[in-house]
Chain A
Amino acid sequence: MFLEEQTDEKLMAEVAKGDLDLLKVLFERHHVHVFNFLLKMSKDKMLSEDITQDVFYKVMKYRTSYNNGKFVSWIFTIARNSLKSHYTRSAEKHQDLDTVIHFEHDEIEEKNEEHTHLHKALSKLETADRELLILNRFQEIKYAELAEIMGSTPGAIKTRVSRALKKLKTIYFENI
């Protein structure tokens, strides 16, 4: 696509003004990342595709409410919320997102032995820690943007990421 050198924020501002075609550029740039984040969280390819689509629908639909903040933060905020509401909708009996995700997780994991050691270790972390590491390590989202997504400060996020990484390291080497 075109407009490669434009920042996400500038593009999204134009989309908000009505140039809907520019949303294609943003889609091309981010849909694989959003999809991979969802896939790593849910381990469900179909679901992740559906939610990714939903995320971009929402961006399109609510384009005028874009607040000129970091686009990456915005889109991952939408992705997280969509995933969360999917789980709350689909699991009436599970009050806690944590249990739900873990539950589905383990179920699929048993069937599928080809998961990497890293994934096994990640799945043993608490959801919040796992999510932080997936966003920071796989999607390369910086502390500042993570702080926007989580409603925290970059300093606090940095500490949380560092702690999560240590926990992961321990699990990873325990079971190697």
Chain B
Amino acid sequence: MMNKKHITDLLPEYLDGILTKSQIKNIETHLKDCDSCKEELRQFQVLHTAFDSEKEVLPSEKLKSNFYEALELEKQKNPKVVVMDSQPQARKNAWMPNLLKLAASIALLIGGFALGKYQQEQKMNLEIATLQNESLGIKQMAMLSLMENKSASKRIQGVNYIDEFSAPDEAIVKALADRMLHDENANVRLSAVEALEKFTTSETVKKALIISLKTEKDPGIQIAVIQTLVKIQEKKAVAPMQELLEQEDTQPYVKKHIKTVLPSII
């Protein structure tokens, strides 16, 4: 007979599934011959289920709105200047020295303005710009990863996040184009078309829109793409539009739409 006490200690973790294979094997062999441990296991199981079936309570919306308000206030109190302790050792310091540093940076900033120390000012601007770039980098990463999310609504969120960028770089544009052309969900594709509308000066975007015109089957998206292409007077879109007119599976109202807009582009 094996040591029972040893086994009962491990039962909760056994149920959590965080034991090693050999531990699991030991437990299971032991359980076969030991009724008291079986009973223990049954009891732990009941407890386990009781914990799992406990519902999470949601706090009222007020909690969130209050906190967001406080956050906005804090943001106004702390313009980007606070950020300037970019030196790594500053992070280790406690609150008070940082406060002094903050005071010092503000004093410096004001001094810079007052005395018109051009150089000083420029340096600060540079630092702020670097920091803003950093956070832009993170935003970009976030946007890209959101667009890869399994859930369609998250992907739409990712796509809509484009509003944060005034001049998105090629990676983002490509990722958006990719969503527009290949996403399985029509709503995601449509959001991507809408997001790309603002960047039609990019060759990549133009090309992608034309490809979409050839491959897209959803009439709503077809119309959005057509409108965008007409708006920018993209001549290369004419041929695929004529093809759509000839294709049998094109929805009648899409054809009608093409007929109305085609003259304005030729």
A172 touches which one: B47, B63, B66, B68 (CB < 8 A)? B47
B63 touches which one: A18, A35, A36 (CB < 8 A)? A35
Are A39 and B74 in contact, CB atoms less than 8 angstroms apart? no
B171 interface residue, CB < 8 Å from A? no
B51 touches which one: A35, A65, A138 (CB < 8 A)? A138
Q: Which of B147-168 contact A (CB under 8 A)?
A: 149, 154, 157-158, 161
Are B95 and A27 in contact, CB atoms less than 8 angstroms apart? no
Q: Which of B125-178 contact A (CB under 8 A)?
A: 131, 134-135, 138-139, 141-143, 145-146, 149, 154, 157-158, 161
Are A19 and B9 in contact, CB atoms less than 8 angstroms apart? no
Q: Which of B183-223 contact A (CB under 8 A)?
A: none
A24 cross-chain contacts in B, Cβ below 8 A: 68, 71
Grouping DSSP codes into helix (H, G, I), strand (E, B) and loop, the B interface class, with mixed when no group exceeds half, is: helix
Residue with the greatest number of chain A CB neighbours at <10 A, chosen from B68, B80, B138 = B138
Are A173 and B43 in contact, CB atoms less than 8 angstroms apart? yes
Are B131 and A2 in contact, CB atoms less than 8 angstroms apart? no
Please report the C-alpha to C-alpha distance between residue A19 and residue B139 in the assembled complex, in whole angstroms.
Answer: 11
B43 cross-chain contacts in A, Cβ below 8 A: 169, 172-173
Are A6 and B142 in contact, CB atoms less than 8 angstroms apart? yes
Please report the C-alpha to C-alpha distance between residue A169 and residue B39 in the assembled complex, in whole angstroms.
Answer: 12
- 0/1 interface trace, chain A 51-78, chain B, CB 8 Å (1 if under): 0110011001110110010000000000
Q: Which of B72-124 contact A (CB under 8 A)?
A: 74-75, 78, 80, 82-83, 85-86, 91, 94-95, 98
| Nearest Cβ on chain A to B90's Cβ, whole angstroms | 9
B32 interface residue, CB < 8 Å from A? no
A20 touches which one: B44, B63, B74, B139 (CB < 8 A)? B74
A109 interface residue, CB < 8 Å from B? no
Residue of B nearest to A60 (CB): B74
Q: How many residues of A contact B (CB 8 A)?
A: 48
Are B86 and A31 in contact, CB atoms less than 8 angstroms apart? no
| Nearest Cβ on chain A to B145's Cβ, whole angstroms | 4
Please report the C-alpha to C-alpha distance between residue A88 and residue B4 in the assembled complex, in whole angstroms.
Answer: 43
A162 interface residue, CB < 8 Å from B? yes
- How many Cβ-Cβ contacts under 8 Å join chain A to chain B? 119
Residue of A nearest to B79 (CB): A18
Are A20 and B78 in contact, CB atoms less than 8 angstroms apart? yes
| Nearest Cβ on chain A to B105's Cβ, whole angstroms | 11
Please report the C-alpha to C-alpha distance between residue A135 and residue B12 in the assembled complex, in whole angstroms.
Answer: 15
A2-B54 contact in complex given A16-B91, A49-B62, A64-B91, C-beta closer than 8 Å: no
Are A65 and B94 in contact, CB atoms less than 8 angstroms apart? yes
Are B67 and A53 in contact, CB atoms less than 8 angstroms apart? yes
Please report the C-alpha to C-alpha distance between residue A49 and residue B54 in the assembled complex, in whole angstroms.
Answer: 19
A29 interface residue, CB < 8 Å from B? no
Q: Which 10 A-B pairs have the closest CB atoms?
A: A18-B83, A3-B142, A118-B50, A5-B145, A2-B142, A35-B59, A137-B51, A19-B135, A64-B98, A18-B82
A-side interface residues toward B, CB under 8 Å? 1-6, 14, 16-24, 27, 31-32, 35-36, 39, 45, 48-49, 52-53, 56-57, 60-62, 64-65, 68, 116-118, 137-138, 161-162, 165-166, 168-169, 172-173
A sample of 19 inter-chain contacts (CB < 8 A) reads A1-B157, A2-B143, A2-B161, A4-B142, A4-B145, A4-B154, A18-B78, A23-B71, A24-B68, A24-B71, A31-B59, A35-B59, A52-B63, A56-B67, A62-B95, A64-B95, A65-B94, A138-B51, A172-B47
Given contacts A48-B59, A64-B98, 11 further A-B pairs with CB under 8 A are A2-B158, A2-B161, A4-B149, A14-B135, A17-B83, A17-B131, A18-B131, A31-B59, A32-B56, A52-B59, A168-B47
